[in-house]
């Protein structure tokens, strides 16, 4: 009954918003008219070392009312800076040095803070790449979503509550009441991103700026969210500015796209036009599979007789939570009797939807969580694994100290282990930065000055500094552009071939997994429901695996013709 009432109410609100836009003479725009125009926009950053970084250079673009534009580019190309500049949300170290941003015939670069607050969230909304930073850890998620609607509407509390619940259902939450009472730390990375999407869409904005909104979601939820955005775009006349590193998601979502490199737009047009280009940079963006296919590194075949490096035996883990109002305890079974082994020198991928228990498994193996039952043995011995196992986390922004320089971030494990002197550690830092694709000259930059993808590379360099035998990667590549994902996988394959390193690769996405891993384990509801060779993924038997495969095909249809 409540669900039906909420659905009817949300539909009424949507219709009311649409009617208001059509009735407003000064704000209502015909679909053919320009909603957003960016002219000769340039943005500079002042780094801690005193250098000036030209993040954007003379960017020109426009979006019509109800239209969409995709933005592609490698990590560090200026995509996120562009998103922040459109809303004037640049950090204090950055500033617009030239150009203007016009939205509904208003120059946003000239508006006062009060005028900007009326636009942000209501008329223009942002879905950020890192929900862990976008959401306030001290407030419930319900408070944070309601605050946006309260600031831009005259609805009463009951109407606001109903609208928030329905919005959460639209982005895939079966129990919106529980989510509204929860805090950000109580959700997985993918669940936090869905809340951030709901928060951005709650006021039905005219322009939605989506900065890598799918990077933290499992592949099935990515497909669901894309369909939701398509529907909202169609039903509400929503204009969409979609920033992504995954060209595959743009074919059915945006009419045109621009490609960025080093702060400049280097190509623009329809996806079909861009695919016909012979430029190596565009080819790497659109068809990153070729980068691994051309590599001399090959994933070795797992031999069942190999000595296991890691053994996980019947591991279970439950978490106790309390309901916000009644304070009654309830149990969440995160892991339920998980058992497997990893041969030395192998790469095994763990796939599953958000909330399936993948991250809990990773934290138990790395020693950050203690299983309730079962055992974890490394080279036949139980107990603390210390430096033999290193972990690369999903959210690099929260796992790295933003006030540390890149050198400090990477050298800290070496200093704790008392390895080498300052000169030797610095030399090691420069080598590792170069290996993971970071400019060694950036060793003096603060971690907070790096882009999302660059921070993830920095986290990988830090993990490799400990010379581990097992590297656990928990969504380690989700924030990277696809060419860089391919580059990092090729690098890891080379390191593995040279040093015999073992990888446990945890992911929600099927990008390159058949080229990188030899074996795949699929998790659902805290259990391993299927284990198969990576080459047999398309012939999977379990419904959970088939769902992931089908969703991946929906998302990445554009790259189906990529030559191997």
Is the pLDDT at 22 greater than 50? The verdict is no
CB neighbours (10 Å) of residue 530?
A: 20
Contact 405, 444 (CB under 8 A): yes
Q: What number is the average pLDDT over the span 236-256?
A: 82
Is the pLDDT at 8 greater than 60? The verdict is no
Is the four-CA dihedral 219, 224, 225, 227 of positive or negative sign? positive
CATH architecture of 346-367+387-559: 3-Layer(aba) Sandwich (3.40)
Contact 33, 105 (CB under 8 A): no
Residue 275 to residue 269: CA distance in whole angstroms: 10
Q: How confident is the model at residue 558 (pLDDT cuts 50, 70, 90)?
A: very low
Residue 85 to residue 214: CA distance in whole angstroms: 21
Q: What number is the average pLDDT over the span 468-497?
A: 81
Predicted pLDDT of residue 32: 58
Q: What number is the average pLDDT over the span 471-484?
A: 78
Is the pLDDT at 381 greater than 90? The verdict is no
For 147-151, 250-254, 283-287, 353-357, which range has the lowest pLDDT when averaged over its residues? Answer: 250-254
Q: Where in the chain is the domain with CATH 3.40.50.300?
A: 2-30+65-91+112-286, 346-367+387-559
- Report the chain's terminal Cα–Cα distance, integer Å: 53
Predicted pLDDT of residue 323: 62
Residue 146 to residue 160: CA distance in whole angstroms: 7
The residue that leads in pLDDT, 545 or 237, is 545
Predicted pLDDT of residue 399: 81
Is the pLDDT at 278 greater than 80? The verdict is yes
Question: Rounded mean pLDDT of the chain?
Answer: 81
Residue 508 to residue 225: CA distance in whole angstroms: 14
Q: What number is the average pLDDT over the span 280-306?
A: 65
Q: What number is the average pLDDT over the span 69-78?
A: 86
Q: How confident is the model at residue 296 (pLDDT cuts 50, 70, 90)?
A: very low
Residue 30 to residue 494: CA distance in whole angstroms: 54
List the structure tokens of 96. Answer: 């617009």
Predicted pLDDT of residue 121: 86
Q: How confident is the model at residue 450 (pLDDT cuts 50, 70, 90)?
A: confident
Model pLDDT for residues 37-60, shown as the tens digit of each residue? 999 999 998 876 677 888 999 999
Residue 416 to residue 411: CA distance in whole angstroms: 9
List the structure tokens of 397. Answer: 């922004």
Q: What number is the average pLDDT over the span 378-395?
A: 77
Is the pLDDT at 12 greater than 70? The verdict is no
- Measuring CA to CA, which residue among 273, 251, 263 is closest to residue 60? 263
Is the pLDDT at 290 greater than 80? The verdict is no
Predicted pLDDT of residue 3: 44
* Correct CATH for 2-30+65-91+112-286 of 3.90.79.10, 3.40.50.720, 3.40.50.300, 3.30.70.141: 3.40.50.300
DSSP 8-state secondary structure symbol assigned to residue 446: B
Q: How confident is the model at residue 18 (pLDDT cuts 50, 70, 90)?
A: very low
The residue that leads in pLDDT, 505 or 437, is 505
Residues contacting 198, CB < 8 A, separation 6+: 145, 164, 167, 168, 170, 171
Residue 318 to residue 269: CA distance in whole angstroms: 51
Question: Could you write out the DSSP letters of every residue in 103-147?
Answer: ETTEEGGG--HHHHHHHBTTTEEEE-S-HHHHS-TTS-HHHHHHH
Model pLDDT for residues 197-230, shown as the tens digit of each residue? 889 888 888 899 988 887 666 777 777 778 777 8
Q: How confident is the model at residue 562 (pLDDT cuts 50, 70, 90)?
A: very low
């Amino acid at each position: 009954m409540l669900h039906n009432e909420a659905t009817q109410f949300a539909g009424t609100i949507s219709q009311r918003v649409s009617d208001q836009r059509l009735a407003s003479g000064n704000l209502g725009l015909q679909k053919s008219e320009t909603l957003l125009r960016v002219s000769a926009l340039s943005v500079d950053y002042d780094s801690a070392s005193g250098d000036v970084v030209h993040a954007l250079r003379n960017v020109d673009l426009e979006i019509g009312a109800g239209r969409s534009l995709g933005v592609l580019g490698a990590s560090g190309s200026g995509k996120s800076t562009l998103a922040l500049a459109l809303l004037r949300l640049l950090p204090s170290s950055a500033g617009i040095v030239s150009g203007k941003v016009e939205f509904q015939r208003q120059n946003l670069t000239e508006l006062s803070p009060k005028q900007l607050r009326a636009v942000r969230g209501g008329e223009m909304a942002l879905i950020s790449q890192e929900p862990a930073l976008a959401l306030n850890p001290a407030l419930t998620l319900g408070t944070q979503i309601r605050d946006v609607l309260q600031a831009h509407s005259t609805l009463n509390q009951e109407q606001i509550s109903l609208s928030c619940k329905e919005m959460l259902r639209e982005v895939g939450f079966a129990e919106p009441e529980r989510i509204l009472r929860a805090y950000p730390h109580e959700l997985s990375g993918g669940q936090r991103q869905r809340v951030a999407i709901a928060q951005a869409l709650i006021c039905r904005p005219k322009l939605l700026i989506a900065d890598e909104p799918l990077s933290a979601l499992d592949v099935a939820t990515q497909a669901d969210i894309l369909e939701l955005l398509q529907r909202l775009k169609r039903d509400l006349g929503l204009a969409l500015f979609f920033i992504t590193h995954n060209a595959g998601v743009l074919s059915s979502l945006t009419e045109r796209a621009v490609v960025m490199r080093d702060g400049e737009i280097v190509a623009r047009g329809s996806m079909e036009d861009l695919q016909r280009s012979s430029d190596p940079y565009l080819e790497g963006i659109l068809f990153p599979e070729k980068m691994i296919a051309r590599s001399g590194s090959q994933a070795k075949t797992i031999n069942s007789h190999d000595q296991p490096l890691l053994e996980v035996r019947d591991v279970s883990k439950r978490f106790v939570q309390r309901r916000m109002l009644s304070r009654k305890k309830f149990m969440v079974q995160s892991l339920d009797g998980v058992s497997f082994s990893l041969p030395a020198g192998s790469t095994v991928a763990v796939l599953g939807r958000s909330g399936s228990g993948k991250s809990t498994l990773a934290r138990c193996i790395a020693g950050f969580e203690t299983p309730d039952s079962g055992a974890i043995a490394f080279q036949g011995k139980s107990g603390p694994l210390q430096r033999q196992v290193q972990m690369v986390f999903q959210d690099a922004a929260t796992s790295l100290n933003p006030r540390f320089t890149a050198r400090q971030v990477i050298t800290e494990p070496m200093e704790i282990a008392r390895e080498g002197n300052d000169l030797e550690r610095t030399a090691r830092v420069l080598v590792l930065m170069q290996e993971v694709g970071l400019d060694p000259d950036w060793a003096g930059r603060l971690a907070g000055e790096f882009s999302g993808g660059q921070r993830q590379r920095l986290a990988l360099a830090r993990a490799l500094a400990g010379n581990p035998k097992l590297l656990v990667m928990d969504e380690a590549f989700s924030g990277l552009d696809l060419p860089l994902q391919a580059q990092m996988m090729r690098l890891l394959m080379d390191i593995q071939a040279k040093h015999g390193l073992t990888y446990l690769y945890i992911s929600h996405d099927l990008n390159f997994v058949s080229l990188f891993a030899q074996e795949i384990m699929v998790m659902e509801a805290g259990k391993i429901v299927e284990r198969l060779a990576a080459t047999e993924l398309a012939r999977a038997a379990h419904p959970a695996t088939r769902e992931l495969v089908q969703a991946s095909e929906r998302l990445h249809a554009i790259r189906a013709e990529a030559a191997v």
